[in-house]
């Protein structure tokens, strides 16, 4: 599920910054074969839901520790959000138009 997208026509690989740029667009053009593809972001929601489940579970587990405090939980959650932010390009898929 978590991998960078390939060109649906020629199978060319795309680098992280390229995918990151394309994730806000609806379509893109392959620099290798010049064909146009559709940018699919539907897997992103699976990532969000999985992340939500992990964080709720993690926060609940951490709250059972007696010395746990809210600022620490917020830091953990913030780190998690940053990780998710960088994982989003790995959920992008390129599809044929
Ligand atoms: Zn291509």
**C-alpha 49 – ligand 1 centre gap (Å):** 31
pTM of the model: 0.81
Two structure tokens written together for 6: 């390939």
**C-alpha 90 – ligand 1 centre gap (Å):** 18
Instruction: For 25-40, give one letter per residue: b (16+ CB within 10 A) or e.
Output: eeebebeeeeeebebe
**C-alpha 84 – ligand 1 centre gap (Å):** 27
**33-81 pLDDT per residue, tens:** 999 999 999 899 999 999 999 989 998 899 898 888 889 888 988 999 9
**C-alpha 44 – ligand 1 centre gap (Å):** 23
In contact, 76 and 65? CB cutoff 8 Å: no
């Amino acid at each position: 599920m978590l991998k960078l997208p390939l060109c649906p026509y020629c199978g060319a690989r795309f680098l992280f910054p390229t995918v990151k740029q394309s994730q806000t667009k609806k379509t893109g053009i392959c620099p290798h074969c010049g064909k146009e593809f559709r940018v699919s972001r539907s897997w992103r929601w699976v990532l969000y839901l999985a992340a939500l489940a992990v964080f709720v579970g993690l926060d609940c587990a951490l709250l059972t520790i007696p010395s746990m405090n809210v600022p620490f939980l917020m830091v953990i959650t913030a780190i998690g959000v940053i990780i998710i932010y960088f994982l989003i390009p790995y959920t992008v898929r390129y599809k044929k138009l």
